[in-house]
Protein backbone atom coordinates (compact mmCIF):
# COMPACT_ATOMS: atom_id res chain seq x y z
CA UNK A 1 0.00 0.00 0.00
CA UNK A 2 1.36 3.42 -0.91
CA UNK A 3 1.09 6.14 1.70
CA UNK A 4 2.05 9.83 1.69
CA UNK A 5 4.23 12.02 3.85
CA UNK A 6 3.76 15.75 3.60
CA UNK A 7 6.01 18.49 4.95
CA UNK A 8 5.30 22.20 5.46
CA UNK A 9 7.83 24.78 6.63
CA UNK A 10 7.33 28.16 8.29
CA UNK A 11 3.59 27.88 8.85
CA UNK A 12 2.17 30.78 10.84
CA UNK A 13 -0.55 28.56 12.38
CA UNK A 14 -1.81 25.01 12.25
CA UNK A 15 -3.49 24.11 8.96
CA UNK A 16 -7.16 23.23 8.78
CA UNK A 17 -7.21 19.50 9.44
CA UNK A 18 -10.09 17.29 8.31
CA UNK A 19 -8.86 13.96 9.60
CA UNK A 20 -10.11 11.55 12.25
CA UNK A 21 -7.56 12.00 15.05
CA UNK A 22 -8.15 10.02 18.22
CA UNK A 23 -5.02 10.68 20.31
CA UNK A 24 -2.74 13.59 21.16
CA UNK A 25 0.86 13.76 22.41
CA UNK A 26 1.81 17.26 23.56
CA UNK A 27 5.10 18.76 24.72
CA UNK A 28 5.59 22.17 26.29
CA UNK A 29 7.99 23.84 28.68
CA UNK A 30 8.43 21.40 31.58
CA UNK A 31 5.22 19.58 30.59
CA UNK A 32 4.24 16.62 28.45
CA UNK A 33 0.83 15.01 28.07
CA UNK A 34 -0.83 12.20 26.15
CA UNK A 35 -4.54 11.55 25.91
CA UNK A 36 -7.63 11.61 23.77
CA UNK A 37 -7.85 14.66 21.49
CA UNK A 38 -11.17 15.79 22.99
CA UNK A 39 -9.51 16.04 26.44
CA UNK A 40 -7.17 18.76 25.12
CA UNK A 41 -9.15 21.46 23.29
CA UNK A 42 -6.07 23.71 23.59
CA UNK A 43 -3.79 21.33 21.64
CA UNK A 44 -3.32 24.03 18.97
CA UNK A 45 -1.98 26.65 21.44
CA UNK A 46 1.65 26.74 20.26
CA UNK A 47 2.66 29.03 23.13
CA UNK A 48 1.72 26.24 25.53
CA UNK A 49 2.46 23.21 23.31
CA UNK A 50 5.51 23.93 21.17
CA UNK A 51 5.65 20.35 19.87
CA UNK A 52 3.09 17.64 19.45
CA UNK A 53 1.32 14.96 17.49
CA UNK A 54 -2.29 14.22 16.69
CA UNK A 55 -2.82 10.67 15.49
CA UNK A 56 -5.24 7.88 14.79
CA UNK A 57 -5.56 4.72 12.76
CA UNK A 58 -4.84 6.24 9.31
CA UNK A 59 -3.04 9.57 9.87
CA UNK A 60 -0.58 11.47 12.05
CA UNK A 61 0.03 15.24 12.14
CA UNK A 62 3.10 16.46 14.04
CA UNK A 63 4.57 19.89 14.56
CA UNK A 64 7.45 21.73 16.13
CA UNK A 65 7.64 25.46 16.73
CA UNK A 66 10.87 26.95 15.44
CA UNK A 67 12.60 30.29 15.44
CA UNK A 68 10.32 33.19 14.68
CA UNK A 69 7.39 31.26 16.15
CA UNK A 70 6.70 29.48 12.86
CA UNK A 71 5.75 25.82 12.67
CA UNK A 72 7.48 22.96 10.90
CA UNK A 73 4.75 20.36 10.32
CA UNK A 74 4.59 16.81 8.97
CA UNK A 75 1.59 14.68 8.02
CA UNK A 76 1.79 10.95 7.34
CA UNK A 77 -1.31 9.52 5.64
CA UNK A 78 -2.37 5.99 4.80
CA UNK A 79 -5.31 7.39 2.85
CA UNK A 80 -6.67 10.79 1.88
CA UNK A 81 -4.98 13.90 0.54
CA UNK A 82 -2.62 16.46 2.03
CA UNK A 83 -3.78 19.94 3.05
CA UNK A 84 -2.58 22.92 0.99
CA UNK A 85 1.00 24.10 1.74
CA UNK A 86 2.26 20.52 2.23
CA UNK A 87 4.79 19.05 -0.20
CA UNK A 88 4.23 15.31 -0.53
CA UNK A 89 6.30 12.19 -1.14
CA UNK A 90 4.98 8.66 -1.63
CA UNK A 91 6.27 6.25 1.04
CA UNK A 92 5.80 2.53 1.57
CA UNK A 93 4.79 0.87 4.83
CA UNK A 94 7.57 -1.40 6.01
CA UNK A 95 6.76 -4.49 8.06
CA UNK A 96 4.06 -5.04 10.63
CA UNK A 97 3.07 -2.69 13.41
CA UNK A 98 5.35 -2.48 16.44
CA UNK A 99 4.62 -1.73 20.09
CA UNK A 100 6.88 0.58 22.09
CA UNK A 101 6.70 0.15 25.88
CA UNK A 102 5.77 3.26 27.84
CA UNK A 103 6.95 4.29 31.30
CA UNK A 104 5.35 3.08 34.47
CA UNK A 105 3.43 0.35 36.22
CA UNK A 106 -0.31 0.60 36.74
CA UNK A 107 -1.39 2.00 40.08
CA UNK A 108 -3.68 -0.85 41.05
CA UNK A 109 -6.55 0.55 43.17
CA UNK A 110 -6.89 -2.73 45.05
CA UNK A 111 -3.32 -2.15 46.31
CA UNK A 112 -3.37 1.68 46.48
CA UNK A 113 -6.92 3.02 46.48
CA UNK A 114 -5.82 6.44 47.73
CA UNK A 115 -3.62 7.06 44.65
CA UNK A 116 -6.11 5.65 42.13
CA UNK A 117 -9.62 5.66 43.65
CA UNK A 118 -11.39 5.58 40.24
CA UNK A 119 -9.31 2.71 38.79
CA UNK A 120 -8.06 4.91 35.96
CA UNK A 121 -5.16 4.24 33.58
CA UNK A 122 -2.65 5.88 35.93
CA UNK A 123 0.96 4.71 35.81
CA UNK A 124 3.94 5.44 38.05
CA UNK A 125 7.67 5.13 37.52
CA UNK A 126 10.19 6.33 40.11
CA UNK A 127 12.30 7.70 37.21
CA UNK A 128 9.69 10.34 36.32
CA UNK A 129 8.46 13.16 38.55
CA UNK A 130 4.74 12.75 37.84
CA UNK A 131 2.06 10.13 37.38
CA UNK A 132 1.32 9.36 33.74
CA UNK A 133 -2.25 8.96 32.53
CA UNK A 134 -2.48 7.05 29.27
CA UNK A 135 -5.60 6.85 27.06
CA UNK A 136 -6.00 3.12 27.65
CA UNK A 137 -8.91 1.07 28.95
CA UNK A 138 -7.95 -0.83 32.09
CA UNK A 139 -10.97 -3.17 31.90
CA UNK A 140 -10.00 -6.86 31.83
CA UNK A 141 -6.27 -6.42 31.24
CA UNK A 142 -3.90 -9.31 32.02
CA UNK A 143 -1.94 -8.70 35.22
CA UNK A 144 1.42 -8.68 33.40
CA UNK A 145 0.31 -6.10 30.81
CA UNK A 146 2.25 -2.92 30.20
CA UNK A 147 1.25 0.28 28.38
CA UNK A 148 2.39 0.46 24.75
CA UNK A 149 2.40 2.96 21.92
CA UNK A 150 1.62 1.27 18.60
CA UNK A 151 3.64 2.50 15.62
CA UNK A 152 3.95 1.83 11.90
CA UNK A 153 7.21 2.23 10.01
CA UNK A 154 7.50 3.72 6.52
CA UNK A 155 10.40 4.07 4.10
CA UNK A 156 11.29 6.30 1.18
CA UNK A 157 14.32 5.33 -0.95
CA UNK A 158 15.97 8.73 -0.59
CA UNK A 159 14.32 10.47 2.39
CA UNK A 160 14.72 7.49 4.73
CA UNK A 161 12.56 5.94 7.46
CA UNK A 162 9.54 7.51 9.15
CA UNK A 163 7.55 6.34 12.16
CA UNK A 164 3.84 7.07 12.66
CA UNK A 165 1.91 6.59 15.91
CA UNK A 166 -1.46 4.85 15.64
CA UNK A 167 -2.79 4.05 19.14
CA UNK A 168 -2.13 3.29 22.80
CA UNK A 169 -2.86 -0.16 24.21
CA UNK A 170 -2.06 -2.60 26.97
CA UNK A 171 -0.20 -5.73 25.98
CA UNK A 172 0.98 -8.76 27.90
CA UNK A 173 4.70 -9.03 28.52
CA UNK A 174 4.47 -12.80 27.97
CA UNK A 175 4.31 -14.09 24.44
CA UNK A 176 2.23 -17.12 23.59
CA UNK A 177 4.16 -20.30 22.87
CA UNK A 178 3.29 -19.92 19.19
CA UNK A 179 5.33 -16.67 19.11
CA UNK A 180 8.54 -18.49 20.00
CA UNK A 181 10.67 -20.53 17.65
CA UNK A 182 10.65 -24.12 18.95
CA UNK A 183 14.49 -24.17 18.85
CA UNK A 184 14.90 -21.00 20.93
CA UNK A 185 15.01 -21.10 24.74
CA UNK A 186 12.16 -19.31 26.49
Q: Which of 117-121, 149-153, 179-183 has the lowest mean pLDDT?
A: 179-183
How many Cα atoms sit within 13 Å of 92 on the Cβ side?
Answer: 5
H-only helix segments in 66-170: none
Say whether 177 sits in a helix, a strand or coil: helix
pTM of the shown model: 0.86
**pLDDT greater than 60 at residue 178:** no
Kindly indicate the confidence band of residue 1, based on its pLDDT and cuts at 50, 70 and 90. low
Identify the top-confidence range among 70-74, 127-131, 135-139: 70-74
∠ CA(8), CA(20), CA(162), 5° rounding?
A: 45
Mean pLDDT over each residue of the chain, to the nearest integer: 89
pLDDT of residue 119: 92
pLDDT of residue 67: 84
∠ CA(74), CA(76), CA(81), 5° rounding?
A: 100
pLDDT of residue 177: 46
pLDDT, tens digit, for every residue of 47-70? Answer: 999 999 999 999 999 999 998 889
Kindly indicate the confidence band of residue 183, based on its pLDDT and cuts at 50, 70 and 90. very low
Mean pLDDT confidence for 88-102: 91
Mean pLDDT confidence for 88-96: 91
Instruction: Give the separation between CA 146 and CA 144, rounded to whole angstroms.
Output: 7
The set of long-range contacts for 71-74, using a CB threshold of 8 Å and a minimum separation of 24, is 71/8, 71/10, 71/11, 71/12, 71/13, 71/14, 71/46, 72/7, 72/8, 72/9, 72/10, 72/11, 73/7, 73/8, 73/11, 73/14, 73/15, 74/5, 74/6, 74/7, 74/8
Instruction: Give the separation between CA 40 and CA 17, rounded to whole angstroms.
Output: 16
pLDDT of residue 5: 95
Instruction: Give the separation between CA 98 and CA 79, rounded to whole angstroms.
Output: 20
Mean pLDDT confidence for 148-155: 95
Mean pLDDT confidence for 134-144: 86
Identify the top-confidence range among 53-62, 95-104, 135-144, 157-166: 53-62
pLDDT of residue 176: 47
**pLDDT greater than 90 at residue 149:** yes
Mean pLDDT confidence for 150-159: 92
Amino acid sequence: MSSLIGVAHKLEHHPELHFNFKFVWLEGVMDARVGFVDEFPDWNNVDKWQEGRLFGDKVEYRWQRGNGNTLHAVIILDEGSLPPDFEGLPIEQEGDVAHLMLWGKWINPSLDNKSNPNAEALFYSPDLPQIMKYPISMILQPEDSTPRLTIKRYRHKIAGEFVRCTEFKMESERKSEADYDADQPI
